[in-house]
Each structure stands twice: as structure tokens, then as C-alpha cells.
Structure 1
Amino acid sequence: MFTPEDLDLFAEKGIDVHTVEEQLASFKSGFPFLRILSSASVGNGILSLDEQQTQYYLDLWEGYLKDNHKVVKFVPASGAASRMFKDLFAFLSADYSEPQTDFEKKFFNSIEHFAFYSDLDEACLKNEGKSITDLIESGNYKAVVSNLLEAKGLNYGSLPKGLLKFHRYATNNRTAMEEHLTEGALYAASSDGEVNIHFTVSHEHLADFKALVAKKKADYERRYGVRYHISFSEQKPSTDTIAVDANNEPFRENGRPLFRPGGHGALIENLNDIDAEIIFVKNIDNVVPDRLKEPTVRFKKIIGGVLVSLQTEINRYITMLKSGKYTIDDLREMIQFLHKKLFVRNEETKHLEDAELALYLLRKLNRPIRVCGMVRNSGEPGGGPFIAYN
């Protein structure tokens, strides 16, 4: 099935031929559904906090930051913006020249409210000799869209979301990447003002991200009184997935098998390369303007406090297990901790001997903790702050 040239391509990417064969087999046989045991609820994967507990975790997080532990904000930022503009691409290629769909009409009626409006206006003046207003008044709507999406203008149709202007402010407009710089300063800065942020980006846009950081970093450091340590990595080619045709056979482009980047799960390897005690993970486009940041910052801190609390208990149990100084009651307490705090259950533990149970607990407790947060409006029935574990 594969030629020597194909095998050379696999080796170049760091992908074993057996991995490619397994991917093809999975496409042909299908992927099994995940077996769901039960729905998440309070006490079963979800922790509901009252105000006193909330303040406890907030204080715990602030105390943790004062001890200058290494915290990293990890941002997957390689996502392209092309899907954001699919309706505008459709308009460009349509056989009509004026807005017809509800989306198209709303876009042009609201265009001055977009954060990129001023930049787009400059591009239109440069390339068309007319402002956005003049182009619209003359019915040349497609020129506006062309300057937004194509390389002659802002090139937003080919850029990653992290480099797009997302939000408008009184004095400046921010890209999604800049919003993450702001967030990092608000909930992940150590007591001496150190903020660590890591972006995963595509190779072709690495230079653009670095250029934007070089341009903006000092401004945000002055604004928030912090020092940023910003690093980048690229999604590894070894995590790519082979593309297939309608018959689930390798799709070829110019005679070579075509590979597509893996999803966010492929970034686990990048995540594993990060040396930090706590890592906050958040997608590049999951940002809000400053007027809406308070709940985000508050609950990120609460999540951090929950993590610190859990890690403290885990460290105590691991020390106990490694020393061998524990009782059967201690082991039972640890099992309850797994069940009620980490929501890890294994019915087979009841059949294990004490020594086997201790080894099992040590393996489970030595794994990274993952916590995700959900904010629920406290005005809703049963509402209040929620933290969800997975």
C-alpha cells in the first residue's frame, strides 16, 4: 500500500507505519462510543460551594501564589479563523453582489462595531481608494469582504484566531492573544509579579505571534505591574492523522499521502513538556472583554484553590504510603478520598490485599489532577458556584 517515498514521509514526521495502519483500520471499522456510567451531579463529579467555602479556596489560592510556586497558563492557539468567516467566504463566491442572507445583512449593518473596523477601513482606503462607508454606499460590498479576508488586506481568512482583533476598548482594541496576557496577570501572577504563559501555535504563524508579543508585552507589563515569561511550541507532526478518501483509502496530494493535524488531544505531548506545578488550560478564543472578566478571574482562582487543597491531601497520603506507616483505617480513608474528592471508583479494590491496595492507591494518587470549572448563575434554582472534576 505504501511506497518507499511514503515511508520516508512517515519517518520525517516521526510516525511509525504501524500507527498509520492503525489509523486506517479505525476509519474502516469505526470508532466505539464512550461508555457513559452516569450523569454528573452534585456529589458525583460536581462540587457545589457555599460562600464560606468559596472564600476559603480564594484565600488558599492567594496564599499559594505568595509562595511563588510555578504556575503556567497553557493556551492552544493554532486554531485557524477560517470557520469564523465561512459565511463571508460564501458571500465572496456568490452570484449576487449585495447582502441577501440575514447573516450578510447583519454583518454590514454592524460592521463599525467590530474591533477590526479601523484596520479594515485603512486597508480599504489603501487598496480601493475608498473607505468602508463609501464602498458600501456604492454597492461594492465584496471589496470590503475581500479586504478583510484576503492577503491584500487584513488576511483574516488565513490567520489563526489568536492574531485577530477580538474586542473593542476606548483607547485600544485587543487580539485574543492580548486577552490571555491580561487574564494571566489577573489570576496567575506570583507575588513577585512573574506570569508564565505558553502558546501552542502552527509553524507558519510562529513568527507572527512572536512579533505581536514583542510589540505588546511591555505595554501589558506596565499596565499590570508584572513580568511575562512567554514561550511557544508547535503541535508535533508525529501526532498528525492520515487523511482518507470516500473509500477510507489514503488521500493523496501530488502523489503523497496527506496528513491533517490532530485535535486538541494531540497537544497532550506539548502539555507534558511544561515544567510547572499547576497549569491552567484555556483555548485561545475562549476570552471575554474586561467588563466581563470578573467571574472568569474569580472562578479560575477558586479552581486553583481546589487544586491546592487536593494536592495537599494527596501529598500527605503519598508520604504515608511511601513510609509504610499506615493502618487499614488510613487506607480506607484514602479510598474515600478517591471516591468523594477525585471521583475515582474501582469496585475491584474491595478484593485487594492491604499491600496491593497500598500500591493501587500510590499509583492513583501519583497522577496529575484535572479540574474544570463551570459557573452557574446563583439566581437560578439550585444555583451557586460549581466546580466540576473530570
Structure 2
Amino acid sequence: MKTAALANKRKYTFDKRDYIQFRLRKITPEIVENQLVTLKRPREHTKVVKPVTLKDGIIKWNAKERKRLLSVFKEHADTLTYCHFIPASGAGSRMLQDLTTFLNDFKPGEESFSSYINRTKQFELSVFFRKIKKFPFYKKLKATLKHLELHTLAKDERKLMIAKALLYDPNFKFLALPKGLLPFHKGRRGEVLTAFDEQLRQFVDFSASFKQAEMHFTTLKSAQTHFNTALSTAHSKLKKLTQNNLSISFSHQSEQTDTVSLTKEHMLVRDGQGKVLFRPAGHGVLLSNLNTLSQDIIFISNIDNIAKRKIQKQVADFRKLMIGNLIATQDYIFEMLPKLKMDALSTAQLDEVINFTKTTLHLKLAINFEKRSKAERCKILFGILNRPLRICAVVKNTGQPGGGPFWVEDGKGNISMQIVETAEVDVTIPEQKQQLDAATHFNPVEICCGIKDYEGNTFDLNEFCKDGEGIISQKTYNGKPITILERPGLWNGSMQHWNTLFVEMKPSLFNPVKTINDLLKKAHQ
């Protein structure tokens, strides 16, 4: 009776199975209702004013600055705790899309492989088979195919069997693995290394500089057993992983953060069994995982951006500079905050802080700021500076998908530097589309974070997230369009009210693996 009474008061009607499903997910009907209300609202877009550029917000260190920042890193690192935070829940299936499509669509006997390539325009698939010997898994594949007696098949059928073996054979099962556990490289002794293996090796080398270091991976619960096995194997090969000052940890994305979606008829999307369809709400939900950490320095990067050892060393050197920049910036802020709080700055010192806020942090102060009393200005500046700080690497735009640095105006007329994803912007407005197209740099997800205040307390990162319910965008489900709700992205909306510096990174240090053929690039060979 209680359930029925509640249902009658609701704007949306749920049946008994829905209430059971919500309860199992540990969410309330009110949460679902709020998501539905948000999905039906007119979409709120981010207003970009202009791109952030080298002449307007992006730092490019010269030799003198590099030397200074490296010195800062070396002076402080061994007194600090460090965490490398890596989202690792991405599925390997995205890398293997061409192989999956080929296995499902190609019909040997009805068309040749070359005809299929011409018909589907999957030219990368042709490259894959032509250069298959260069992949780290080829030796194992060759042994498997010998067992399957591939030589008895016609040439085109062999390609089909190769795709099937990689995706489903017990020796591989690539389709069932997270991206982080797919083979990426050949080691110096010929061993096959996954992205996870390479990240651990880089971590062991880099973490030697710090007092205490942790590598934290966010994974799917369903993949945790695979990661545990991989970590156990890594421990046996990398003895330094067992050092007392190092630790490896994992966390999972909570089902409670999943969101519902709508059909084009504005009906709740359900699966084939009639259950409410819940979808992961994007990487923004990882803010809750990040919020459990308390190290002095936290570095965020993607698991697939890991090249061979030579480039890893260059990446590590650049990260030291980013950390040096973070430490130097924090030192100044932490020195000024107690004085701002107590209104204990001289006029010259206050002017110096104002200049720092405008020129280093690139923050715009209110038009009437200068007209306020000294005490009021100190209070405003204290609120501005007492926030989490991040140093974000950006790379020259070469057509890569993803977000980039832009000057953004909020609904109150405030302008700040933010990382913006294309999905956030109304590209039907010519001026907005023009600003997106004018971007000079993009976000490779190399972010150095300081999440403690000047007294050593860890910030509650939820307090610095973008206002609002999230990003509304379009996807498909079972071939039909649906409207989905994603929480503010981890490095865009979820960090909107952080203080941010952008620094330029060499393109050669950014080597992500989005498709399996990316492993053929020089950085991975």
C-alpha cells in the first residue's frame, strides 16, 4: 500500500519491478525522477568565448623555467606523497571494432576480401592483416593458428579465422578484456606487455622520487579478477613493486551513479526484459573515486597513453616539470592565504596577489572589485585562491577527438579557462562552431592535481564541481536514438571551479591507443 501511495504522488509511474530494481541498486525513485526531469529540460550548453592559446593562457616553458621547475621538484619530492590515478574501465572492444565488424559482416564465397574493403571503406583492416607480424601477440597467434590448421583454409577464410581467434579463442579472448589488459608492446626480452604492465613499470621508476607513492586504477567489478591476476604476475617480475613505500590499489565505479535515458518519444528506455536501462554516466562519476584520495600530488592520465621505454623517460621528465610547477604555485598561494584571511597584507603585497590572480591564474575579477574595501578584497581573493589546483598539459591540435582548452562564460558573466568537450557546445550556433574550429590545442589527459588546502586539509572535491545535473547527449540503443544523461566530466565539469594552469606538451609525448592499428606506430614498436 505504501508503494502504491507513493506512486500516486509521483509525476512518473513505476511498476513493482522498477521499485525492486531501484532498491537493488541502492537508489531511490526520487533520484530517477530527477534524472528524467533533467533529460526533459531544454539542454544547457557551455558558452565558449574563444580558445585558450599560447598567447592567451597556455604556458610554454623556456630552458630557464625548465631548470627552475626541475630544481623545485628535486628539492621537494622526497617530502611528498604521490598518487597516479588511472581510469582503467574502458573496454577493449572499442579498439577492436573493425575486427568485430569484419567477423560479423564478411561472407567468404560471396565476395573477396578486397571487395569487402572497397565496399566498407575499412582500409585500416587491410593494414592490420598486411602488418600482422608486427603486433606483440603474433608469436602466440601463429602457434594457435597452427593448431587450428589454418593452412587448410582459403586465403580470405584465414583472415576470418584470425579475427575469430583474437576475439574469442581461449588463448586471447580480446573482446572480453578491458583495454588495459590487451597486449601493447614487446619487452626487451621478447615478453608481451599490456598497457597495465607498462604503467606499473613506469610507476616503479617514477615513484622512487617520493616519500610514499600509490598507483590507483579505477576498474569495472567484472574485470577485477583479471587485474588481480595481472598484478600478481607483475609482482613476480617487478621486485621493486613490493617496496614498503609503494602500493597499488583499485576502486570501482558505483552502480548508484548510473543514469536512465529517454526514447525519442520521451519514454523511459527499457531493455529486452522490460527492465529500466541504466547506463554508466561517463568519467565524471570518477570524481567520487578521486575524492577518496589524500596524497600531496595526484597525477591523472589514461591507461592507453603509454609508449615504449624511451618515450616513457621523456614523459616522466615532463611530469616532473608539471609537478614542480604545481609545487611552486601552491607555495606562493599557501604563503598568501593566511595573510589574506587575517587581512595582514600591505598594499604592495595585495597588489602582488591581485596581479598573480590575473596573470598567473588568468582569473577575471569583478568589475567593481577595485572599489571594494581592502578587507573585502582580501576576503574575495581568499575565496578565489583557496581551491584545488591543477596543471593541465595540452597538445597542439592535430585533429584528435576530445576536449580542449577554452575561455568559458558562465550564466553569471564570469569568464574562466576550462577544458571543454564538443558535446557540451551548441554547434548549431555558427559563432560557437567557429570558436571550436579555431582551437589550437586539445586535452591529452595529463593532469597534475593539488587537492589540499594551505593547512594541509584535503578539499571536498564535490564542492568545486560544475553546478547543474550533467550533460545531455544523443546515443543509440538497439539501433534506435536515445537521449542520455552524463555527469559533468572528470576534467571538464567536475573540475570547473578548480584553479587551472595550461602548459604545452610536445605531441611526441602523446601516444594513445584508440584502435588496434595504433600499436603499429613508431612509439609502440
Q: Is the 8 A contact 2:86 2:300 kept in 1?
A: yes
Shift of 1:265: 1.2
Give yes or no for the alignment of 1:204 onto 2:222.
yes
TM-score (ref. length: structure 2): 0.66
- Report the Cα distance in structure 1 between the residues aligned to 2:14 and 2:373, rounded to whole angstroms: 51
Three-state SS of the structure 2 residue aligned to 1:310 is: helix
The aligned residue for residue 138 of structure 2 is: 117
- Of the three residues 89, 96, 101, the one matched with 2:107 is 96
What residue in structure 1 maps to residue 63 of structure 2? 51
Structure 1 position 93, deviation (Å)? 1.1
Deviations 1:161-201 (A, max 9, x none): 01111112331221111121122234343356x53100000
Query: What are the equivalent positions in structure 2 for 1:171-210 lying under 5 Å apart?
Result: 171=189, 172-191=191-210, 194-210=212-228
Q: Deviations over 1:350-372 (max 9, x none)?
A: 35433333222222222111111
Residue identity in the other structure for 1:288: A
SS in 1 for 2:302: coil
Shift of 1:23: 2.8
Please tell me whether residue 361 in structure 1 is matched to residue 372 in structure 2: no
Matched to 1:117, the amino acid is Y
2:50 maps to which residue? 38
Residue 238 of structure 2 aligns to a residue in which SS? helix
Per-residue CA distance 1:89-131 (angstroms, 9 max, x = gap): 11111242353322232111111111222333344455x2x36
Q: 1:261 aligns with which of 273, 276, 280?
A: 280
Q: Amino acid of the residue matched to residue 253 of structure 2?
A: Q
Matched, 1:281 2:300: yes
Take 2:297 and 2:26, find their aligned partners in 1: how far apart are those partners? 30
Q: Which residue, 75, 80, 83 being the options, matches 2:91? A: 80
Contact 1:73-1:188 at 8 Å conserved across structures? no
Q: Does 1:70 align with 2:81?
A: yes
Contact 1:217 1:228 in 2 (8 A): no
Q: Which residue of 2 aligns with 1:315?
A: 334
Deviates more, 1:294-303 or 1:16-25: 16-25
Correspondence for 1:150 among 168, 175, 193: 168
> What's the counterpart of residue 455 of structure 2?
none
Aligned-partner SS, 2:208: coil
Unpaired stretches in structure 1, ≥5 consecutive residues? 378-385
Question: Equivalent residue for 1:341?
Answer: 360
The CA deviation string for residues 66-110 of structure 1, in whole angstroms up to 9 with x for no partner, is 22x111000000011112111111111124235332223211111
Deviation at 1:239, TM superposition (A): 1.7
Q: Is the 8 A contact 1:300 1:373 kept in 2?
A: no
**CA spacing shift, 1:227–1:148, aligned 2, 3 Å:** farther
Change (3 A) 1:117 1:146: same
Following superposition of structure 1 onto structure 2, how do residues 217-228 of structure 1 map, counting pairs within 5 Å? 217-222=235-240, 228=246
Separation in 1 of the partners of 2:238 and 2:15?
52
Partner of 1:361: helix, strand, or coil?
helix
**In 1: Cα distance, 2:382 partner to 2:29 partner:** 36
1:335-360: per-residue Cα shift (whole Å, max 9, x none)? 22222222222325335433333222
Structure 2 counterpart of 1:143, one-letter code: M
User: Could you say which residue in structure 1 is the equivalent of 2:350?
Assistant: 331
CA distance in 2, matches of 1:48, 1:73: 24
Q: Unpaired segments of 5 or more residues in structure 2?
A: 1-12, 118-122, 398-445, 448-499, 503-525
Instruction: Tell me the secondary structure at the aligned position of residue 326 of structure 1.
Output: coil
Return the structure number with greater helix share. 1
State the identity %.
Answer: 28
The 1-side partners of 2:152 and 2:215 are apart by: 42
- The whole-number CA distance in structure 1 between the counterparts of 2:269 and 2:30 is 17
Shift of 1:151: 5.5
Measured on the aligned residues, the alpha-carbon RMSD in Å equals 2.8
Could you tell me whether the CA contact under 8 Å between 1:65 and 1:191 is conserved in 2?
A: yes
User: 2 CA distance for matches of 1:29 and 1:337?
Assistant: 40
Provide Cα deviations, 1:193-244, integer angstroms capped at 9, x if missing partner.
x531000000100111111111113423449989630000001222212133
In 1, Cα distance between equivalents of 2:243 and 2:175: 35
Secondary structure in 1 aligned to 2:47? coil
Alignment partner of 1:160 is 2:178 = yes
User: Could you say what secondary structure the match of 2:345 adopts?
Assistant: coil
How is 1:120-139 mapped onto 2 (pairs within 5 angstroms)?
A: 120-125=141-146, 128=148, 130=149, 139=157
Aligned residues: 377
Report which stretch shifted further, 136-145 or 42-51: 136-145
Which deviates more from structure 2 when the two are superposed, residues 327-336 or residues 195-204? 327-336
**Residues in 2 aligned to 1:168 and 1:147: alpha-carbon distance in whole angstroms:** 20
Query: Which residue identity lines up with residue 93 of structure 1 in the other structure?
Result: N
Quick check: 1:74–1:198 contact (8 Å CA) kept in 2?
A: yes
Which residue pairs with 1:290 in the alignment?
309
Q: Deviations over 1:290-329 (max 9, x none)?
A: 1322331121111111000111011101121234422344
Q: Does the C-alpha gap of structure 1 residues 210 and 264 become closer, same or farther in structure 2, counting only changes over 3 Å? A: same
Q: How does 1:5-24 map to 2 (within 5 A)?
A: 5-24=17-36
